[in-house]
Amino acid sequence: MNLKELYQEIILDHGKNPRNLRKTDNFNKDAKGYNPLCGDKVHIYLKLNENKKIEDISFEGQGCAISMASASIMTSLVKGKEEKEAKEIIEDFLEMIKEKENLNTKLLEEDEKTKLMCLSGVKQYPMRVKCATLSWHTLTSALDKSQNEINIESKEI
Ligand code: ZN
- Cα of 63 vs centre of ligand 1, distance in Å, is 6
Residue count of the chain, please give it.
157
Domains, the chain, ranges and CATH? 3-146 (3.90.1010.10)
Q: Which residue has the higher pLDDT, 127 or 117?
A: 117
- Torsion of the alpha carbons at 136, 111, 106 and 4, rounded to the nearest 10: -60
Q: What's the mean pLDDT when you consider all of the chain?
A: 93
**pLDDT confidence tier of residue 147, bands split at 50, 70 and 90:** low
What is the rounded distance in angstroms from the CA atom of residue 155 to the CA atom of residue 147?
13
How far away, in angstroms, is 131 Cα from ligand 1 center?
Answer: 4
What's the gap in Å between 118 CA and the centre of ligand 1?
15
| pLDDT level of residue 155 (50, 70, 90 thresholds) | confident
pLDDT computed for residue 27 by the predictor? 95
**Span from the CA of 141 to the centroid of ligand 1 (angstroms):** 19
The answer to whether 93 touches 116, Cβ cutoff 8 Å, is yes
User: Which residue has better confidence, 6 or 19?
Assistant: 19
CB distance 130 to 37 below 8 Å = yes
Q: What is the pLDDT of residues 24-76, one digit of tens each?
A: 999 999 999 999 999 999 999 999 999 999 999 999 999 999 999 999 999 99
Q: How far is the CA of 145 from the centre of ligand 1 (A)?
A: 24
Instruction: Let me know: does 130 contact 151? Beta carbons within 8 Å.
Output: no
**In angstroms, what is the span from residue 50 Cα to ligand 1's centroid?**
35
Indicate the pTM of the whole model. 0.93
Helices (H), the chain: 3-16, 65-78, 83-98, 110-117, 126-144
Report CA(79)–ligand 1 centroid distance (Å): 23
* d(CA 147, ligand 1 centre) in Å: 21
Q: Which of 51, 74, 58, 73 is nearest to 21 (CA)?
A: 58
Distance of CA 22 to the CA centre of its chain: 15
